[in-house]
Amino acid sequence: MVDVQRASKMADRIQEIVARRLEKGIKDPRIGFVTITDVKVTGDLQHASIFYTVYGTDEERADSAAALKSATGMLRTEVGKNITARLTPSLEFIPDGIPENAASIDRLLQEARQRDADSQSLAETAQYAGDADPYVKPREFGEADEADNEADRP
């Protein structure tokens, strides 16, 4: 049976433990400015997916990913010492796509703003294709209309 609340608490605790350990420092010079953004633990508490971001270039991201992969055993030991579970979950580090997604969304919003500005400028100089008021107005009854109405009567 899956206890979602327990898995959530364990995920929060793992995030805190790993972040604290990374803050203290790992003796790997490849690790850069890493931020743990989220942790997801499976329902059976056997596996933890740790999402992280790295501030820097693509090369620094790749180096940090390699450093985290090599430090997984040490970090798992640290997690095992600091949680109250019978089994220590396996750890998997996954680069988080938040910065790339945010940049993509910003780019799309900028494009939408530009298109809105373009359509607004076109609307300001636009002219009607037909009459300015294309809706039919009720006619005023005149003599010609009264003659048509009398002809229709039996």
Tokens representing 116 are 């809105």
Burial 83-108 (b: 16+ CB within 10 A, else e): beeeebbebebebbeeeeeeeeeeee
pLDDT digits (tens, 9 = 90+) for 32-44: 788 888 999 988 8
Q: Angle, to 10 degrees, between the axis of helix 58-70 and the axis of helix 72-82?
A: 60
Count CB neighbours of 65 within 10 A: 19
Give the pLDDT score at 64: 87
Please name which of 36, 35, 41 lies closest in space to residue 2, comparing C-alpha atoms: 41
| Residue ranges, the chain, pLDDT below 70 | 1-2, 140-154
Give the pLDDT score at 143: 57
Question: Any alpha helices (H) in the chain, and if so which ranges?
Answer: 4-24, 58-70, 72-82, 98-124, 143-152
Q: Determine the 3-state secondary structure of 39 from DSSP.
A: strand
* Euclidean distance between CA atoms 4 and 7, whole angstroms: 5
Give the pLDDT score at 153: 59
Residue with tokens 């009459």: 131
**Which residue ranges form the domains of the chain, and what is each CATH number?**
4-97 (3.30.300.20)
Give the pLDDT score at 105: 92
CA dist list (Å): 94 to 13, 28, 123, 141? 18, 18, 48, 78
Q: What is the mean pLDDT of the chain?
A: 83
Which residues does 97 contact at the CB level (< 8 Å), separation at least 6? none
